[in-house]
Amino acid sequence: MATAPRSARRPPGAGVKLSFNDPVVRAIFWQIVIVGAVGLVVWWLVGNTVRNLEARRIASGFDYFWREAGLPIGEAMIEYQPSDNYFRALVVGVLNTLRIAVVSIVLATILGTLIGVARLSRNWLVAKLASVYVETLRNLPLLLQLLFWYSVLQSLPPPREALNPLPHVYLFVRGLQMPWPQWTPELGTVLAVMGIGIVASFLVRGWAKRRQMLTGEQFPIGWTAVGLVVALPLAVFVMQGANLPLDVPTLGRFNITGGILITPEFTALLIGLVTYTAAFIAEIVRSGIQAVSHGQTEAAAALGLKRGQALRLVILPQALRVIIPPMTSQYLNVTKNSSLAVAIGYPDIVSIANTILNQTGQAIEGIGTIMAVYLTVSLSISAFMNWYNRRIALRER
């Protein structure tokens, strides 16, 4: 863009004379120099690496993916045995990373929004407590908080003396064990009905919106959704005999068996990530709400909108425009911060890839795998959030 007027400055018909005073020539020269320098450095590094690998007799390549891992993993979302191959172990790691990231993002968003709104509360005590929370959590390293929570959970009693806060719920040094519904065809039907209800609610919402745009008539969407998503599955559940067999944990001699066990590693990581990220999200939400001017609230009131309607139809859509971009980077941060799992032994991708790296000595492939996974996840989250941001962006006519 800068080159056009400059090249026009050349005297017409004088032919192209190569001179170092010509900005175009100079730009090309410097680019060749810089690219050449970067290329040389890369070439030197690659050369060194190849020589070093030869000296250490490490065969590069991803063939080791299909060898037997012999690597025990504490928690896995898919079937996994140490006799499975390295690739399957890495998949387990990726799934564990996604699990902690998704759960943390959802919970941190809820907690952060609550605290952000609380900071703006007219109740002095509520506002003060919220700001103390934000200032404390934001100013301590996340890794420190994770280790702190983990050592708190480590000081829980052994299985024999497990805390029993609710019937059949046990809290002890190896985690939180609680009842879990057993899978039955009836449960499947109820969940399927609930899924259909969710889809139907969205369809009804679309129809109601179109009708309101055309005729101005309103439709009670909220109550319809509650009926479709909660009441209908509940009715199906009762009709089938309200039969929900639970897998209940029982206290044995040395251990507690049955039910579902949430490990202290997962819990510490979850508590740490959620409370830390919520402090940042609270600030984003607060500044987003404050960015909507008073006039908007007053105009909504003047139009006769109720407070809830004003919040939903006027304030929130405008606040979201300010909130979404920084929120995207927080979601990316949660995903990247979940890699600190390696410090407390939750088997996420970094921790598993690092163990494999130490077992096989395939450093470049191991680090490459970690980076490739995170780059993929990061780019997917940014793509999704950019799509959402475009959808809610101000459409100026």
Partner 1 sequence: MANGRVAAVSLPADRPVAHGFLSRALLWARANLFSSWLNSVLTLVLAYFLAKGLISFVSWAFIDAIWSLPTQDTRPCRDARAESACWALIGERNRFILFGTYPFEEQWRAALAVGVFLALYGLSTVRAFWNFRLVVIWTVGLAAIGVLMWGGVFGLAYVEQEKWGGLPLTLILATFGIAFAFPLSILVALGRRSAMPAVRMICVTYVELIRGVPLISVLFMASVMFPLFLPEGITIDKLLRAQVAIILFAAAYLAEVVRGGLQAIPKGQYEAADALGLGYWRKTGLIILPQALRICIPPLVNTFIGLFKDTSLVTIIGLYDLLGAAKASIVEPRWVGFGVEAYMFISLIYFIFCFAMSKYSQGLEVEFSRHTKR
Determine, following the binding rule CB under 8 A, whether residue 311 of this chain makes contact with partner 1: yes
Which is closer to partner 1, CB of 102 or CB of 144? 144
Q: Is 303 in the site for partner 1 (CB under 8 A)?
A: no
**Three-class SS string for 337-368?**
HHHHHHHCCCCCHHHHHHHHHHHHCCHHHHHH
Q: Which residues pair with 175 in a beta bridge?
A: 172
User: Of 97, 99, 103, which Cα lies nearest the Cα of 274?
Assistant: 103
State the residue for tokens 């163990």: 355
Q: Does 312 bind partner 1 (CB under 8 A)?
A: no
CB of 127 to partner 1, least distance (A): 9
Task: Identify which range of 104-112, 138-146, 178-186, 259-267 contacts partner 1 by CB under 8 A.
Answer: 138-146
Tokens, residue 158? 């052994």
Stretch of 62-70, 141-149, 161-169, 199-207 lying at the interface with partner 1 (CB under 8 A): 141-149
According to DSSP, residue 58 is labeled P
Q: Which two tokens stand for residue 383?
A: 């793509």
Decide whether 116 or 259 has the Cβ nearer to partner 1: 116
Considering the rule CB under 8 A, would residue 350 count as an interface residue with partner 1?
Answer: yes
Residue identified by tokens 């995170």 is: 374
Q: Give the separation between CA 294 and CA 309, rounded to whole angstroms.
A: 16
The DSSP code sequence of 155-215 is TSPPGGG-EEEETTEEEETTEEEE-EEPP-HHHHHHHHHHHHHHHHHHHHHHHHHHHHHHH
> Interacting stretch for partner 1, rule CB under 8 A, among 63-71, 143-151, 158-166, 227-235?
143-151
Residue whose entry in the numeric block shows the structure tokens 């120099």? 33
- Would you count residue 102 as binding partner 1 (CB under 8 A)? no
Q: Which residues pair with 181 in a beta bridge?
A: 246
Phi, psi at residue 70, to the nearest 5°? 60, 35
> Number of residues in contact with partner 1, rule: CB under 8 A?
68
Stretch that binds partner 1, among 14-22, 104-112, 151-159, 186-194 (CB under 8 A): 151-159
The answer to whether 123 contacts partner 1 (rule: CB under 8 A) is yes
For 218-221, the CB contacts below 8 A with 24+ separation are: none
CB of 52 to partner 1, least distance (A): 5
Q: Looking at 7, 16, 17, 38, which residue binds partner 1 (CB under 8 A)?
A: 38
Residue 342 touches partner 1, criterion: CB under 8 A? yes
Is residue 218 a contact residue for partner 1 (CB under 8 A)?
Answer: no
CA 391 – CA 385 distance, rounded (Å): 10
User: In this chain, which stretch among 9-17, 142-150, 200-208, 233-241 interacts with partner 1, using CB under 8 A?
Assistant: 142-150
Q: Note the helical H segments in 245-362.
A: 264-291, 294-302, 307-309, 316-337, 349-360
When the beta carbons of 34 and 246 are compared against partner 1, the nearer one is 34
- Say whether residue 174 binds partner 1 (CB under 8 A): no
Q: How far apart are the first and last CA of the chain?
A: 29
Confirm or reject binding of residue 25 to partner 1 (CB under 8 A).
no
Residue 310 near residue 300 (C-beta atoms within 8 A): yes
Report in angstroms how near the CB of residue 97 gets to partner 1 at its nearest.
10
- Check: CB of residue 250 under 8 Å from CB of residue 256: yes
Figure out which of the listed residues 194, 336, 385, 389 binds partner 1, where binding follows CB under 8 A: 336
- Least Å distance, CB 296 to partner 1, is 10
Nearer to partner 1, 53 or 322 (CB): 53
**Cα 94 from Cα 12, distance rounded (Å):** 62
What span, in angstroms and rounded, lies between the C-alpha atoms of 79 and 85? 12
Determine which residue in the list 208, 236, 316, 343 makes contact with partner 1, applying CB under 8 A.
Answer: 343
Q: At its nearest, how many Å lie between partner 1 and the CB of residue 192?
A: 38
Q: Which is nearer to partner 1, 88 or 286 (CB)?
A: 286
Among 101, 256, 356, 370, indicate the residue that binds partner 1 (CB under 8 A): 370
Q: What angle do CA 342, 348, 350 make, to 5 degrees?
A: 60
CB of 264 to partner 1, least distance (A): 13
Binding-site ranges for partner 1 (CB under 8 A): 1-3, 27, 30-31, 34-35, 38, 45, 48-49, 51-53, 55, 117, 120-126, 129, 135-136, 138-144, 147-148, 150-152, 154-155, 289, 294, 297, 301, 307, 310-311, 315, 336-337, 339-340, 342-343, 350, 354, 357, 363-364, 366-367, 370-371, 374-375, 378-379
